[in-house]
Amino acid sequence: MKKVIAKENLCLNCRLCEVYCKTAHSKSKDPLRAYLNEPELQSRITVCGDNQKSVAVQCRHCDNPKCVEACITGAMQKDPVTGVVTCDAEKCIGCMTCLAVCPFGCIKIGETAVKCDLCQGEEEPACVKNCPNRALVYLEMGGKADA
Amino acid sequence: MRSYLIIGASAAGLSAAQELRAADPQGKITVLTAEEYLPYSRPSISYYLKSKVSEEDIYLRPAEFYSEKKIDVFTGARVTGLDPAAKTVTTADGRQFSYDKLCLATGSHPFVPPTEGVEGKENVVTFLDFASAKRLKEMASPEKHAVVIGAGLIGMKAAEGLVKLCKSVTVVELAESVLPSILDANSAVMVKEHLEENGISILLGNTVTRADSQGDTITSVELKNGEKLPCDLLVMAVGVRPETALAEKAGLRVERGITVDPETMQTSDPDIYAAGDCVTSVDMLDGSKKIIALWPNAVQQGKIAARQMAGKADRLTENFSVNAIDFFGLRICTCGLIHAAGDPYRELVRREGSVYKRLIVKENKLVGFVLINCIENAGIYTALIRSGTDLSTLQGDLMDMPTMLLYSEAERTSLLLGGEPA
Ligand SMILES: Cc1cc2nc3c(=O)[nH]c(=O)nc-3n(C[C@H](O)[C@H](O)[C@H](O)COP(=O)(O)OP(=O)(O)OC[C@H]3O[C@@H](n4cnc5c(N)ncnc54)[C@H](O)[C@@H]3O)c2cc1C
């Protein structure tokens, strides 16, 4: 399956990926309006570090996802066809057991678990599309897409 | 074609069935459950009680899942007999099923200590299954006083679910702290205060000694210290016990839980496996035998039992407790040996207001943590515990919010590219 790869040496710590991730998951789809009117929005990608050293981290959509295995409600699932790991907000109770087992720190805390969905339906995730330094690339990574 | 039979259709049973289908596309897979429902999320029953999760969303899989995967689930099928020589089981209503490989995923049952005046009353419930949650939801109403016996996970979740539905909720607990299975002493005090601020009365070091009734209905309970509480609804949540009756009757080895090989989940009968709350686990962090009554462990064990039943070589490589839970917005995440203290254990503690972090270290390896209101990225700590990483190889302050920057660049790149750490 295709995954987002972060090139650490090219990351500027500008955090535009975070801004565009929020925008892509906002109601308005506009960066300013999303910023002003939807304060609860969370970026599903996180730039860790500072201006010396930084790297953007987001869900790896693992072949054997720990979060899916640990989910106590059946909300977290890996799509058997696309391989994308998503959380069903109707089922999720926000217990954050997924966060407690994700080895990369890719689950954000909200009313329910919040995580990268690879901008399903889009050709390229918003973070990749809007990274000015091409530090994020969307590549075929192999890995089976079975659940 | 192999015939697989699973008893119990919850975390361990469903995981086993799903994994069996993945490992053996042709095999016959039958799942028997005493309950009237298809597999649902047991931990979600308190969210159903407080109407956060609907009946339709409590199920773990859509009903079509079972037909698509050719997994035959029989509800209302309580198994009462197991004959390991004939390789058959019988249900209470007289149906018989045979197997080549059997998995016991019978979980736990509530432990209800005999209490004067309680047995047979109509307003007493346990809180362990969907049926009991439905009953409790029907019984709860704004003029009622609810009393919950037991301040463990189940009792506190019942209390949380009831607090908006009843006039008062009082939890009575014999021990001196709340949630002993997931909290250390410091955090238990913080969590208790938070629960009280949110309307739950908690009486520690106390218990219900008897109940008074009018006809079949309890109206008040008397406590060990002589105090009397009005009570229109009594929830018994003292504890759970592994459900081992079938295994015992069939002559399998049982020590509290069903005895299994900790890596293969095989019982003392080579064709019978067991997984989940019904087995005695071995904690990989200190080698101790214990019942790890947590959902993710049941799922992992069910998966390995299934692989083994299908003749695959996979083994259980990790077994330790991880729990995340919230109560009224207070976020709790704990893992590993949270009660370990003294040599050879060392602890790092930070406490500021309602934020508490305690890391437990043994021989320069992380073996446990307790996080209250600072659970961000907790899974990175869990990964360090799982992999037994030497903490001296990490960069930065372990007490800060953990991130991938703890690892060296080479290690981090390899982890992020590989998709999964070793
Ligand atoms: C209110 C509540 C909240 C919880 N919260 C959490 C949480 O936040 N995190 C967490 O990790 N865990 C939590 N747990 C614990 C978790 O639910 C259990 O660890 C998990 O359900 C264990 O799964 P299991 O498959 O081993 O057994 P169980 O879920 O106990 O299922 C066993 C099944 O087998 C059936 N069965 C038993 N005997 C027979 C028989 N003879 N014939 C046919 N069927 C039989 C039972 O009816 C039952 O359906 C909670 C539990 C409760 C009750």
Residues A111 and A125 grouped into a single domain = no
Domain identity same for A6 and A49: yes
CATH number at residue A93: 3.30.70.20
Evaluate whether residue A146 is within a structural domain. no
- Substitution candidate for ligand 1 out of B106, B281, B320 with most atoms within 8 A of CB: B106
pLDDT over threshold 60, residue B92? yes
> Å from B213 to nearest chain A CA?
37
Chain B residue nearest residue A100, CA to CA: B379
Would you state the torsion angle of the CA atoms of residues B304, B127, B76, B268, taken in this order, to the nearest 10 degrees?
40
Quote the number of domains for chain A: 2
Write out the H or E segment, with its range, that includes residue B223. strand B217-223
pLDDT for residue B421 is more than 60: no
The predicted-structure confidence for B95-126, as pLDDT tens digits, reads as follows 999 999 999 999 999 999 999 999 999 999 99
DSSP string across B331-349: EEEEEE-TT--STTEEEEE
Q: What is the mean pLDDT of residues B240-253?
A: 97
**How confident is the model over B343-401, as pLDDT tens digits?**
999 999 999 999 999 999 999 999 999 999 999 999 999 999 999 999 999 999 999 99
A43: left (phi over 0), alpha (psi -120 to 50) or beta: beta
Q: Does the pLDDT value for residue B204 go beyond 70?
A: yes
Task: Please answer whether residues B208 and B172 qualify as being in contact, where contact means their C-beta atoms are separated by less than 8 angstroms.
Answer: yes
| Contact residues, chain B, for A91 at CB < 8 Å | 41, 44, 53, 57-58
Residue A16 inside a domain? The answer is: yes
Report CA B312 to chain centroid distance, whole Å: 27
pLDDT tens-digit series, residues B141-198: 999 999 999 999 999 999 999 999 999 999 999 999 999 888 998 999 999 999 999 9
Whether residues A42 and A89 share a domain: the answer is: no
The amino acid at A134? R
Residues A47 and A72 grouped into a single domain: no
Domain identity same for A5 and A54: yes
Q: How far is B50 from chain A (nearest CA, A)?
A: 11
Per-residue pLDDT, A142:
67
Within this chain, do residues A133 and A96 fall inside the same structural domain, yes or no?
A: no
Dump the DSSP string for B150-207.
--SHHHHHHHHHHTTTSSEEEEEESSSSS-TTT--HHHHHHHHHHHHHTTEEEEES--
A1, A46: one domain: yes
pLDDT at A146: 33
In a domain, A5, yes or no: yes
Residue with tokens 């016996």: B149
Quickly count: other Cβ atoms within 10 Å of residue B83's Cβ: 13
Residue A147 lies in a domain: no
Nearest C-alpha to atom 41 of ligand 1 is from which residue? B79
Q: Are residues A77 and A41 in the same domain?
A: no
Closest C-alpha residue for ligand 1 atom 28: B107
Average pLDDT of the residues of chain B: 96
Torsion on CA atoms B187, B193, B197, B200, rounded to nearest 10: 100
Q: Do A141 and B419 touch (CB under 8 A)?
A: yes
Q: How confident is the model at residue A143 (pLDDT cuts 50, 70, 90)?
A: low
Whether A4 is covered by a domain: the verdict is: yes
User: Do A2 and A53 share a structural domain?
Assistant: yes
C-alpha to C-alpha distance for A51 and A49, rounded to whole angstroms: 7
For chain B, what percent of residues have pLDDT higher than 70? 99
Q: Inter-chain contact B41–A73, Cβ cutoff 8 Å? A: yes
Q: Who contacts A114 (Cβ-Cβ below 8 Å, separation ≥6)?
A: A42, A44, A87, A107, A108
Instruction: Indicate whether A103 belongs to any domain.
Output: yes
* B261 φ/ψ sector (left φ>0, alpha ψ -120 to 50, else beta): beta
The 10s digit of each residue's pLDDT in A39-83 is 999 999 999 999 999 999 999 999 999 999 999 999 999 999 999
Q: Where are the beta strands (DSSP E) in B289-399?
A: 289-290, 322-327, 330-336, 345-352, 355-362, 365-372
- Residue range of the domain that includes A17: 1-58+116-139
Residue having the nearest C-alpha atom to atom 15 of ligand 1: B294
Q: At residue B7, does pLDDT exceed 70? A: yes
Contact A108, A114 (CB under 8 A): yes
Residue reference for tokens 């500072």 = A50
DSSP B54-70: -TGGGBSS-THHHHHTT
In this structure, the residue with its CA closest to atom 26 of ligand 1 is B276
Residues with CB under 6 A from ligand 1: A 72, 95; B 7-13, 32-35, 42-43, 45-46, 77-79, 105-108, 127-128, 153-154, 157, 243, 246, 276-277, 293-296, 298, 323, 325
Tell me the CA–centroid distance for residue B229 and ligand 1, in Å.
31
Q: Are residues A53 and A120 in the same domain?
A: yes
pLDDT exceeds 80 at position B61:
yes
Quote the pLDDT of residue B420.
46
* Cβ-based burial of B166 (10 A; exposed 0-12, middle 13-18, buried ≥19): buried
Contact predicate B406/B380, CB 8 Å: yes
> Quick one: pLDDT at residue B56?
95
To test the contact with chain B by mutation, choose from A43, A72, A77 the residue with the greatest count of B C-beta atoms within 10 A, namely A72
Whether A18 is covered by a domain: the verdict is yes
Average pLDDT of the residues in B326-330: 95
Write out chain B residues lying below 8 Å of A94, CB-based: 326
Residue A144 covered by a domain: no
Please give the share of chain A, as a percent, with pLDDT higher than 90: 90
Task: Classify the C-alpha dihedral A58-A59-A61-A65 as positive or negative.
Answer: positive
Q: How confident is the model at residue B422 (pLDDT cuts 50, 70, 90)?
A: very low
- Residue in B60, B322, B421 closest to A100 by CB: B322
For residue B326, what are its two tokens? 């919230």
Q: Are the C-beta atoms of A127 and A25 separated by less than 8 Å?
A: no
Compute the distance between CA of residue A27 and CA of residue B395 in angstroms, rounded to an integer: 39
Whether residues A75 and A103 fall in one domain: yes
Which amino acid, B42? R
Residues A66 and A135 placed together within one structural domain of the fold: no
Residue B65 has pLDDT above 50, yes or no: yes
